[in-house]
Amino acid sequence: MTNNNQLNLFSWNVNGIRAVEKKGFTDIIKNLNPDIIGIQETKAQPDQIPESIINMESYKNYWFSAVKKGYSGVGVLTRIEPLNVINGIGIEQFDIEGRVITLEFDDFYFINCYYPNAQHELLRIDYKTGFNTAILEYCEKLKKKKTIVICGDYNVAHKEIDLKNPRTNMNNPGFSIQERDSMDTFINTGYIDTFRMFNNEPNNYTWWSYRFNARKRNIGWRIDYFCVDESSVTRILDAEIHPSVLGSDHCPVSMKLKV
């Protein structure tokens, strides 16, 4: 544990665990020094995870992959041994895509999610909103037992402040009214966007297109989040975005949790 009184929690869509490993993933993790990190879009089966990651000193690792090879997938590296690991949410149409892994600890659940992309012309909007409903129901069930930390790539910019060009993206995937309404429902049910507890400034993004030199120009979207249920709010010590960390088209996000 980094500090006896707090946990250093991270989340990162790596856009391919094998690709990011070649870009110095293990050194990046050592520098970030997470107690727990949720990883999304691994694009790998468990037996394809690089040995350097599997054997990282002081970390246990858990992986839940899509049935389709090279697609989706989530994982967690943790210094603290969980009481239980839950793969999926018990709904086959979502679980076959390897989108959710939950680690249960003494006094909280760490839920790591890779939310679906609504895709061009919103071709998967029904699948996306169905997933959003299902994950909310899942969280509501778990929070009756202990507090919830839910991180990951939510694939939605919630408010206009959360992307550079809101007006030109109104009907695009990630900023459609359906997705934003769904995020509203999640927040209004009693979940807190931890970054906005500490920072209400614009130009804070977690994803940038590889095109048009977008990252250098900071033309981005904030689509990666740490959220908690209301009973956890007093435990949140800090929440940050780490745009200087390279290796993916997303950057890591983090949260400090009092223990």
In this prediction, residue 2 carries a pLDDT of 56
List 153, 162, 224, 229, catalytic entry = 153
Kindly report the average pLDDT of the chain as a whole number. Answer: 97
Q: Is residue 1 part of a domain?
A: no
Q: Is residue 10 part of a domain?
A: yes
- In terms of phi and psi (left: phi > 0; alpha: psi -120 to 50; beta: otherwise), the region of 203 is left
List 109, 114, 115, 138, catalytic entry = 114
Angle, CA of 85, 88 and 31, to the nearest 5°? 60
Mean predicted confidence (pLDDT) in 228-233: 95
Q: CA torsion angle for 146, 87, 124, 43 (degrees, to 10)?
A: 130
Q: Is residue 31 part of a domain?
A: yes
Angle, CA of 131, 159 and 170, to the nearest 5°? 80
Contacts of residue 38, defined as CB under 8 A and 6 or more positions apart, other chains included, come to 9, 10, 11, 12, 74, 75, 76, 101, 110, 112, 113, 151, 152
Mean predicted confidence (pLDDT) in 84-107: 98
Q: Whole-angstrom Cα distance, residue 168 to residue 172?
A: 8
Q: Is residue 50 part of a domain?
A: yes
Q: Is residue 32 part of a domain?
A: yes
For the domain that residue 18 is a member of, what is the CATH number? 3.60.10.10
In this prediction, residue 131 carries a pLDDT of 98
* Structural domain count, the chain: 1
In this prediction, residue 175 carries a pLDDT of 98
Contact 116, 97 (CB under 8 A): yes
Judged on CB neighbours under 10 Å (0-12, 13-18, 19+), 139 is buried
pLDDT tens digits along 116-174: 999 999 999 999 999 999 999 999 999 999 999 999 999 999 999 999 999 999 999 99
Beta bridge partners of 84: 104
Give the length of the chain: 259
Q: Which long-range contacts (CB under 8 A, 24 or more apart) does 77-86 make?
A: 77/29, 77/34, 77/36, 77/37, 77/39, 77/53, 78/35, 78/36, 78/37, 78/103, 78/110, 79/1, 79/34, 79/35, 79/36, 80/1, 80/7, 80/35, 80/36, 80/105, 82/110
Q: Is 48 helix (H, G, I), strand (E, B) or coil?
A: helix
Q: Clarify whether 59 is annotated catalytic.
A: no
In this prediction, residue 28 carries a pLDDT of 98
Q: Give the domain extent around 41.
A: 6-258
pLDDT higher than threshold 90 for residue 3: no
pLDDT tens digits along 187-227: 999 999 999 999 999 999 999 999 999 999 999 999 999 99
Rg, Å, the chain Cα set: 17
Q: Clarify whether 181 is annotated catalytic.
A: no
pLDDT higher than threshold 90 for residue 32: yes
Q: Is residue 235 part of a domain?
A: yes
pLDDT tens digits along 36-45: 999 999 999 9
Angle, CA of 188, 190 and 195, to the nearest 5°? 90
Torsion sign over Cα 103, 108, 109, 112: negative
Q: What percent of the chain has pLDDT over 70?
A: 99
Q: Is residue 125 part of a domain?
A: yes
pLDDT higher than threshold 90 for residue 26: yes
Q: What share of the chain is helix, strand, coil (3-state, %, to 5)?
A: 30, 30, 45
Contact 253, 10 (CB under 8 A): yes
Q: Is residue 200 part of a domain?
A: yes
Tokens of 160: 């206009």
